[in-house]
Chain A
Amino acid sequence: MTKPTTDQAQASPTKRFFVSMLTRDINLADAILDLLDNCLDGALRLADGGNVDYAQHFVKIKLAADHFSIEDNCGGIPREVAKNYAFKMGREPDDDRDSETETIGMYGVGMKRAIFKMGREALVRTRYDEDTFEVPITSAWLDAKGWEPLPINEPTEAGEKLAEPGTVIRVHELYEGVSRHFANESFENEVRTAISEHFTMFLQWGLKVELNGKPVEPVFVEVLVSERADGPAPFVFQKTIDDVLVSITVGLNTGRSLGNDDEDDSGFERDRSSATAGWTVLCNDRAVIVGDKSRLTGWGDGIPLYHPQFAIITGIIEFRSKRADKLPVTTTKRALDTSSNVWLESLVKMKEGMRVWISYTNQWKNHPRADQSNYWEDAKPLSLGKTIAAVALRSDVKKSDSQIEFNPQKAKVLPEPPGKTPSARRIVFSRPVEEVRLVSKMLFDIDDEKPGIVGEKCFELTLAKAKK
């Protein structure tokens, strides 16, 4: 039997461990998106359960070699929240903000992690109602051993005030690698693309996001839906699982259905699918994942691995809940918690939808694209919400109190290739361009007919001979 002594073993985390570990979990672009997430959560709180008018809000982000800044007019941080929660590393159980709003933040690390990821000096200036104050995070504080509270300062000059309620975060003394990235145009392009994809819903609702002075435009993730009741339409599924409303659609994207058969870049080594091909996962209006083509979303897991043949397939799944902890997302908000029940149950339906379109593309594999585009002529690209609304009106949709389901294969609304022969085989070969030109000239009197057509005509010619 042991007995207690007066000695104690220290068990608190060191600041250095905390800062270096926390920041390793996230990449630089995601850290910026985290800050943008905070702005949007601010806008949601400001509306206090009502509808948010995103057109009233802006977020301005500046990336430069010597500093980073993000500025918004999304309500700011109340002083009590700043004193007790906002700058704590991790969320307190008694922090009951957001129990009634569809925010996405839940761990209370986003802002701190983003700041520590970028540099060693930061200033958070905020105005909530008429109360303006700022919290500096200095390199001296970072280097000090203890977890001293951060000072809260009030403005003394007009230039230190904010014109409207909101928050400005500035980070200085950027790390060398971070500074190189912020000065690099391709990194700026990467961040711009990420914002336009991940925050597409908010941008479509009018939120103004500026990156280095230039507005960010939304990217549209949509699937084709025919207006005719018996016209082709996507797979649709909607159900509430564990307090989370799950909506799924899988269909053809707008990318190539109108395209021609040019074999630009075609071949096994190239995959230039549009970003929106594959799966897009939305959680409370944020796109957590965009255009995923990996095992994560079911590819290669009981269905074929992703392949350029499937570049015309787009899947969209949305999870919606007032309980952020029920959503299948990780702390970085840009990755999925794939062990959650709601995800696993949804994945079954996602794969069901994918199988419909995989067999569709298999059927059409050896037919000219023009043949199928006739069937899609009156189809319009629609977002997830509009797709479900449009398909729910059809007579052959399976509807009950708890769910909506539509399978276009079973409803027999998908076009089939004319004269579909199961015995069709594909012939692929390559010849030097000089020879192709020569044959093209002989057959068509021009030397630049498409190689595929030249080859096909050669085959037809030989076939006619063989049949004699």
Chain B
Amino acid sequence: MSAGSSLPYRLRPNKAVDRELFLSLLMRLTPALSLEKYHYVGLGGPFLEDFRLVHARLGLARMTCVETEEEVHKRQLFNRPVASIECVHKTLEEYLDSHDFESPAIVWFDYTEPRGITTQIERFARTIGTVPLGSVLRVTLNANPASLGKPDPSELSVEVDGEASGDRAAKPTIQEWRLARFKERLGALFPSGLTVGDMVFKTYGPSLLRALKLAVEKETLSFRDRRVVWALGTHYADGQAMVTAALVVCAAGDAIIEPFVKGWEFYSTPDAPHRLDLPALSTLERLTMESNDDVRAKMAFDLPKSDMGEDPIAVFKKFYRIYPHFSRVEL
């Protein structure tokens, strides 16, 4: 677990929305799949916030929280909000390798480390074939292109709209450099045809999801009893850019789950992930935006745009129902 992921959700509104989207997907699936009988496996962080919510919303009792750092693991045992949560001091991979699922599972591969991205993608893809039918798998990947490495600036050239620095012929641009690293890291998983334009802050996330999707599709070729239905893809940044994808492992002949998923309000796939880029708002702004159709007339100023370059009003309109509102409570 990296230091960043122990930040509370209230400081990461987009991550909070992302989590709400996933919970909302699970609630949508509950009547079709009886999720309360499922086994939930994930990384809880010191406070096991996700576990509390999964239990509260779905009534799911069998839960396993995996943690590699011993002190955090001990803290989890102390903080455990529901007694039925099993806390294990292992990596997620070790746990999955040593466990046979008796019932379908919900597994959240919450990867925050940018290193080993290929191993992470492969591990996720491989799990498709090992979980019982009906299982729901979700992965979070670090989508910060700078994590591909920082070359010495003297080794780079620059080019903007056809204008280039004098050393352009001899040295790569940062995007070219990243593309070469990305190719190296992914090896055979590299999506053929990716270009330098796919290696910037805004586009790197979708490129990563593309590789993920190809790895999963490749894996499904080996199984005739099952197929995957992609359900949710997101791309957000609270500081660190992240992408997520969730899917349901269905029986090959399934005709129930797919229409159920596709009819969902927030249905999205790795090809076109939701871009979660919500503005930070005062309480008055929020209430105004929720209760008025014509926000721009009421608020005679522009909300700032973030790195993702989305229109803050449009994004808010799409996700306001699940946008968290945090306020201070003195204990």
Contacts and interface: CB of A to CB of B under 8 A. Distances in A.
A264 interface: yes
B217 A185 contact: yes
A458 B212 CA distance: 39
B300 interface: no
A271 B187 CA distance: 8
B59 interface: no
Interface string B165-208: 00001101000010011011111101111000000000000000
B193 A260 contact: no
A411 interface: no
A265 B191 contact: no
B186 A192 contact: no
B185 A189 contact: no
B149 A260 contact: yes
B325 interface: no
Given A192-B193, A272-B118, A260 B185 contact: no
Interface in A182-205: 184-187, 189-190, 192-193, 196
B151 interface: yes
A151 interface: no
Contacts of B218: 184, 186-187, 190
Given A181-B221, A184-B217, A196 B187 contact: no
B184 A258 contact: no
Given A184-B221, A189-B214, A193-B192, A259 B181 contact: yes
Contacts of A193: 190, 192
B76 to A, nearest CB: 15
B214 A185 contact: yes
B148 to A, nearest CB: 9
B8 interface: no
Contacts of B3: 447
A186 B150 contact: no
Interface string B62-82: 000000111100000000000
A180 B184 contact: no
A446 to B, nearest CB: 11
B184 A273 contact: yes
B180 A272 contact: no
Interface string A170-185: 0000000000110011
Contacts of B185: 264-265, 272
B115 A265 contact: yes
Given A258-B155, A272-B118, A434-B71, A217 B193 contact: yes
B216 to A, nearest CB: 8
A210 B133 CA distance: 37
B226 interface: no
Contact of A273 (B116, B187, B215): B187
A266 to B, nearest CB: 9
Contacts of B187: 271-275
Interface string A352-373: 0000000000000000001001
B213 interface: yes
B149 A196 contact: no
Nearest to B171: A258
Contacts of B215: 186
B184 A256 contact: yes
A216 interface: yes
B150 A187 contact: no
B155 to A, nearest CB: 6
Nearest to A196: B192
For B115, B119, B188, B193, which residue has the most chain A Cβ atoms within 10 angstroms?
A: B193
A192 B221 contact: no
Contact of B184 (A190, A274, A447): A274
Nearest to A255: B184
Nearest to A270: B119
A181 to B, nearest CB: 7
Contacts of B184: 255-256, 259, 272-274
Given A259-B149, A260-B150, A434-B71, A186 B193 contact: no
Nearest to B122: A270
Contact of A264 (B115, B188, B220): B115
Interface string A313-351: 000000000000000000000000000000000000000
A258 B70 CA distance: 38
A238 interface: no
A254 interface: yes
Nearest to B181: A259
A189 B194 CA distance: 11
Contacts of B118: 265, 270, 272
**Most chain B CB atoms below 10 A, which of A190, A271, A272:** A272
A193 B188 CA distance: 9
B269 to A, nearest CB: 11
Contacts of B151: 258-260
A262 B149 contact: yes
Nearest to A193: B192
A377 B152 CA distance: 13
Given A185-B214, A214-B193, A258-B155, A274 B183 contact: yes
Contacts of A370: 152
Interface in B140-164: 149-152, 155
Interface string A31-74: 00000000000000000000000000000000000000000000
A106 B105 CA distance: 55
Contacts of B192: 189, 192-193, 196, 216-217
Contacts of A185: 213-214, 217
A100 interface: no
Nearest to A269: B119
A91 interface: no
Q: Which 6 A-B pairs have the closest CB atoms?
A: A186-B218, A192-B192, A186-B217, A193-B192, A186-B214, A272-B187
Given A181-B221, A380-B169, 11 more contacts: A186-B218, A193-B192, A254-B180, A255-B184, A258-B151, A258-B172, A260-B150, A264-B149, A264-B185, A265-B116, A274-B180
Interface of A: 180-181, 184-187, 189-190, 192-193, 196, 214, 216-217, 254-256, 258-260, 262, 264-265, 270-275, 370, 373, 377-378, 380, 433-434, 447
25 contacts: A180-B221, A181-B221, A184-B217, A193-B190, A193-B192, A196-B192, A216-B192, A216-B193, A254-B180, A256-B184, A258-B177, A259-B181, A259-B184, A262-B149, A264-B149, A264-B185, A265-B115, A265-B116, A271-B187, A272-B118, A272-B184, A272-B187, A274-B180, A274-B187, A275-B190
